[in-house]
Amino acid sequence: MSGGSGLAIRPLLEEGKDQELSELLKSLHPADIADALEPLGMDDIVKVVSLLDNQTGADVLVELNSQARDVVAQGLPVERLTGMVQEMESDDAADLVGDLSSDTASEVLSNIGSEDSEEVRRLLMYDGETAGGLMQLELVSVLETDTVEEAVGRIRRMAEEVGDIGHVFVVDSLGALRGEVSLKDILLAGPSDTMAKLITKPPGLVLQADEDQEIVAQKFQKYDVKVAPVVDHQNRLLGRVTVDDIIDVVHEEADKDFYRLAGSSEEELYVKSPLRTAGLRVPWLLFNLGGGIITSLILRAFQASLEKTMVLVAFVPMVMSISGAVGSQSATITVRGLATGRLAGGNILRNLGKEQKITSIIAISFGVVIALISGSLNRALHIGLAVGLSMAAAILVSAFLGAVTPVFFKTVDIDPAMASGPVVTSINDVVSLLIYTAVGTALA
Amino acid sequence: MSGGSGLAIRPLLEEGKDQELSELLKSLHPADIADALEPLGMDDIVKVVSLLDNQTGADVLVELNSQARDVVAQGLPVERLTGMVQEMESDDAADLVGDLSSDTASEVLSNIGSEDSEEVRRLLMYDGETAGGLMQLELVSVLETDTVEEAVGRIRRMAEEVGDIGHVFVVDSLGALRGEVSLKDILLAGPSDTMAKLITKPPGLVLQADEDQEIVAQKFQKYDVKVAPVVDHQNRLLGRVTVDDIIDVVHEEADKDFYRLAGSSEEELYVKSPLRTAGLRVPWLLFNLGGGIITSLILRAFQASLEKTMVLVAFVPMVMSISGAVGSQSATITVRGLATGRLAGGNILRNLGKEQKITSIIAISFGVVIALISGSLNRALHIGLAVGLSMAAAILVSAFLGAVTPVFFKTVDIDPAMASGPVVTSINDVVSLLIYTAVGTALA
């Protein structure tokens, strides 16, 4: 493995062995340095970063989580920070500057040179969660009429600035994208071959600057590309998105959905204080509290009839648990389908139909089993019927709500992932208890 | 967008316009053809694939879901299937052959030529969910002593076979990996420069053949590489893993975790029948059923004391809903942390401590609120105290179980994602109800 572990950083810091620490840092991969820094205190993080050269410092800053990055941005002299920003690729520089306080940001921007600061300002205009927000401006573009020799000249001039070149993009004299040529094809062609001869047209994937990052990630996955050009509505080449950013997007989007499903927010990843973390979870639990108050009122309202049939009450936790679980299965699976693009267009309706069949099978089989259990436990057929039927009805309704709510949320432009956490659970609690007590007391 | 949509395939099929269909298929991206085929019937899928040339057919087969692929493998004449497998990269060929019935597999293997079949057999020996199972054998390797001119000669000879070349791998005379050289550096170097001069050493990331794909994906993300060499325990170069496969892994792993969190299996993605899908969900719901039976027995056991304090019963759904939700927050967030590698080593214990602080804050604040609500609803201080205290106790225990169970599952080598679905919910149902009724009836 490249670099090895950064575990040795902390002891060297504590013993104040700056010389050995510098040596160690040179042998480590920036991603490993970032990993080692994140758990350290403010002063230690700033101290280690200040020991790095600007290029390594830039690479470490890019890998750090936003909390540790804030610490560095506040603690590092602004000249060092500027030096590091200058070494970053434009997309990383824009991400960092976008996170700085406005004072520090403008100081950094005024010091990194007018061309770089112009690039950063241009990138900051795009929404961070679109193709424009993901793209970098560093790329090699050539003209259709360029020969291989001329193209190699352009690559040579850009080699320092553009880290990773797998393709060059071919544009016409107005800057409109015509296609792309792989470095392999350039390497194997004759020196006087023109780009027009080598062009792949259309390129694997072309992105619009305003496309949402979730859609962009789905397209990268579908078309198996490693880099894609970004164009404006006039098809003019603006930048490129590389696949390493896409992996981060896929991770981020999955993180977001997991946290929202749980009834919290992905902000938890950047918050250290337990009190503030609790503050992210509590609002969602208020739905459970509200649902709980309503269920307690329902049970009070049915108190008279329930006291006669205490056996019904004994099955309340079971009905809530099973119908909650069935509803949450439908909801989670629908949310994931919507997030991955598997559920779109006509598939959405087809999925609702399928979910209804699946959950009907589950509702009927559990209804029968529970009727048998409760009937024989109480040696009374009508009790069994009452519990089994009301259980089946509660499961069916919960499942329907579970499958429909994410679709409804998506339609009204709320993140569907919010629909399968506490919100749906609480609605389900109320509805399934209402159905259960109403059907149960009527039959028992 | 490349290719455009495959929506026009179905009408042309229905009208039997084979000529126009062939023309349309030539203009489409294989991934779009695959998307358009998946909802079609068996005969239509086979018909369309048989109209494709072998290279496009191979690309479509790679993109198809496994169900549609099975249909093609069974319906297509074995000679056509063989022709398509021959056009595939070794990793895709191995995936497909691995899915075939053993008769068809051996027929295909005996027809694709001894070199290709040897490659497929070699790849099939690796576990599908390891670096070895992800790698392809197509790559360009050069010697340290090779000049740029010799390296370009090797690239030229391999250009047909190796689709996408961004790097060449440098090995010594025994086949041991020494490093890698980017095509950019080769393009910009002089013809007599040696690979030893251009080598990046160590390379960004080197994988062991038996590394788990989840770890491999984490490393790709951390080190931002697009391709990584795979070696055996003697550091001999075996193959390479490319980033497009990694995006699929990240997606698959997230899918798996979502389905297991919901209490189902990622198999749902490949199963069409509602009955079989229900069969994937029901086993998990049996935990809820078991938990439900136990909770009904608990309520029966406490029946005498509960009838005196019917007000306690009214809050049973609330205690189960809130403590279930808090436990599920802790569990989901812990599961995701374990899956992404954010929680590892000392972080695991630190996370448990943090979760306990967070959930204590939640338990105390909800306990107080619920004490006030139930106390004033019943105009009785001791009822408020009983409900509030027992609620806080139930939340605390649920949260503890939620955070600990995934870690315990991981330790005993069960997928932690299984720990935050119905299993933990059911345990929580029982434990929280037990605590609530015990504490509640003692105090009320």
Q: Residue B54's domain is classified under what CATH number?
A: 1.25.60.10
| Helix (H) / strand (E) containing B78 | helix B78-87
Domain boundary among A250, A285, A310: A250
Q: Is residue B250 part of a domain?
A: no
Q: Report the chain B residue with the minimal C-alpha distance to residue A354.
A: B274
Question: Which SS3 state, helix, strand or coil, does residue B180 take?
Answer: strand
Which of B184, B230, B347, B351 would you mutate first to test chain A, the one with the most A CBs within 10 A? B184
Select from B400, B221, B227, B377 the least CA-distant residue to B312. B377
Domain boundary among B125, B151, B167: B125
Contact (CB<8Å) B165/A184: yes
Contact (CB<8Å) B221/A296: no
The whole-angstrom separation of Cα B223 and Cα A367 is: 52
Q: For tokens 């992996």, what's the residue? A: A247
Residue B67 has what pLDDT? Answer: 81
Contact (CB<8Å) A251/B250: yes
Q: For tokens 């159905």, what's the residue? A: A435
Asked whether the ipTM of the predicted complex exceeds the cut of 0.90, the reply is no
A-B CB pairs within 8 A amount to: 319
Average pLDDT for B386-390: 89
**Residues B145 and B48 both lie in one domain:** no
Q: Quickly list DSSP for A304-319.
A: HHHHHTHHHHHTHHHH
The whole-angstrom separation of Cα B67 and Cα B75 is: 13
Select from A5, A1, A3, A22 the least CA-distant residue to A13. A22
From the centroid of its chain, how far is CA A436?
38
Average pLDDT for B398-403: 92
Question: Which SS3 state, helix, strand or coil, does residue A355 take?
Answer: helix
Residue A201 has what pLDDT? Answer: 66
Residue A120 has what pLDDT? Answer: 93
Q: Quickly list DSSP for B269-291.
A: GG---HHHHHHHHHHHHHHHHHH
Q: Which residues in chain A are contacts of B365 at CB distance < 8 A?
A: 278, 282
Q: Residue A100 contacts by C-beta under 8 Å, 6 or more apart in sequence? A: A73, A108
Q: Report the chain A residue with the minimal C-alpha distance to residue B223.
A: A31
The whole-angstrom separation of Cα A355 and Cα A331 is: 10
pLDDT tens-digit map of B263-274: 888 888 888 788
**Residues A304 and A361 both lie in one domain:** yes
Q: Residue A304 contacts by C-beta under 8 Å, 6 or more apart in sequence? A: none
Q: Among partner residues A278, A296, A374, which is closest to B318 by beta-carbon distance?
A: A296
**Residues B287 and B237 both lie in one domain:** no
Name the least confident of A165-169, B127-131, B289-293: B289-293
**Residues B270 and B391 both lie in one domain:** yes
Q: Among partner residues B317, B325, B354, which is closest to A263 by beta-carbon distance?
A: B325
Q: Report the chain B residue with the minimal C-alpha distance to residue A202.
A: B2
Residue B181: strand pairing partners = B168
A426's tokens = 């609480």
The whole-angstrom separation of Cα B130 and Cα A135 is: 31
Contact (CB<8Å) A223/B275: no
**Residues B280 and B216 both lie in one domain:** no
Average pLDDT for B51-69: 90
Which of B258, B294, B360 would you mutate first to test chain A, the one with the most A CBs within 10 A? B258
Q: Is residue B227 part of a domain?
A: yes
Percent of chain B with pLDDT over 70: 97
Contact (CB<8Å) A205/B2: yes
Residue A145 has what pLDDT? Answer: 94
**Residues A218 and A281 both lie in one domain:** no
Q: Which residues in chain A are contacts of B260 at CB distance < 8 A?
A: none
pLDDT tens-digit map of B331-365: 999 999 998 888 888 888 988 999 999 999 999 99
Select from B436, B292, B290, B301 the least CA-distant residue to A310. B301
Contact (CB<8Å) A254/B259: no
Q: Is residue A112 part of a domain?
A: yes
Q: Are B214 and B257 in contact (CB under 8 A)?
A: no
Q: Is residue A258 part of a domain?
A: no
Residue A90 has what pLDDT? Answer: 93
| B211 residue type, one letter | E
Instruction: Residue A224: give its domain's CATH number.
Output: 3.10.580.10
Q: Which positions of chain A have pLDDT values less than 70?
A: 1-5, 201-203, 306-309, 444
The whole-angstrom separation of Cα A73 and Cα A71 is: 6
**Residues B103 and B157 both lie in one domain:** no
The whole-angstrom separation of Cα A207 and Cα A213 is: 10
Query: CB B298: neighbour CB atoms within 10 A?
Result: 19
Q: Report the chain B residue with the minimal C-alpha distance to residue A311.
A: B300
Q: Which residues in chain B are contacts of A403 at CB distance < 8 A?
A: none
Q: Is residue A102 part of a domain?
A: yes
Instruction: Residue B362: give its domain's CATH number.
Output: 1.10.357.20
Q: How many domains does chain B have?
A: 3
Q: Is residue A130 part of a domain?
A: no
**Residues B78 and B145 both lie in one domain:** no
Contact (CB<8Å) B278/A159: no
pLDDT tens-digit map of B305-334: 766 667 788 888 888 889 888 998 899 999
Q: Which residues in chain A are contacts of B140 at CB distance < 8 A?
A: none
Contact (CB<8Å) B285/A362: yes
pLDDT tens-digit map of B237-268: 999 999 999 999 998 889 998 898 888 888 88
Residue A203 has what pLDDT? Answer: 66
Q: Are B34 and B60 in contact (CB under 8 A)?
A: yes
> Which runs of consecutive H residues, i.e. helices, occur in A125-162?
131-134, 148-158
**Residues A283 and A366 both lie in one domain:** yes
> Rg of the Cα trace of chain A?
30
Q: Which residues in chain A are contacts of B292 at CB distance < 8 A?
A: 315, 317-319, 321-322, 370
Which of A5, A183, A187 would you mutate first to test chain B, the one with the most B CBs within 10 A? A187
Q: Please indicate whether residue B39 or residue B227 has the higher confidence score (pLDDT).
A: B227
Residue A309 has what pLDDT? Answer: 67
Average pLDDT for B74-79: 90
Q: Among partner residues A315, A321, A328, which is closest to B426 by beta-carbon distance?
A: A321
Contact (CB<8Å) B322/A251: no
**Residues B344 and B238 both lie in one domain:** no
Select from A234, A235, A233, A173 the least CA-distant residue to A201. A235
The whole-angstrom separation of Cα A385 and Cα A367 is: 9
Q: Among partner residues A31, A320, A336, which is closest to B255 by beta-carbon distance?
A: A336
**Residues A332 and A436 both lie in one domain:** yes
Q: Among partner residues A221, A328, A333, which is closest to B268 by beta-carbon distance?
A: A333
Q: Which residues in chain B are contacts of A166 at CB distance < 8 A?
A: 166, 183, 226
Domain boundary among A189, A216, A250: A250
Residue A3 has what pLDDT? Answer: 42
Q: Which residues in chain B are contacts of A184 at CB distance < 8 A?
A: 155, 159, 164-165, 183
Residue A151 has what pLDDT? Answer: 94
Q: Is residue B249 part of a domain?
A: no
Q: What is the DSSP letter of B430?
A: H
Q: Report the chain B residue with the minimal C-alpha distance to residue A189.
A: B156
Query: CB B226: neighbour CB atoms within 10 A?
Result: 20
pLDDT band at B1 (very low <50, low <70, confident <90, very high): very low
**Residues B113 and B161 both lie in one domain:** no
Q: Is residue B150 part of a domain?
A: yes
| Shortest Cα–Cα distance, A103 to chain B (Å) | 31
Give the domain extent around A370: 266-443
Q: Are B424 and B351 in contact (CB under 8 A)?
A: no
pLDDT tens-digit map of B133-160: 999 999 999 999 999 999 999 999 998 8
Q: Among partner residues B31, B315, B317, which is closest to A429 by beta-carbon distance?
A: B317
| Shortest Cα–Cα distance, A281 to chain B (Å) | 8
B38's tokens = 């998946």
Q: What is the DSSP letter of A231?
A: E
pTM above 0.95, yes or no: no
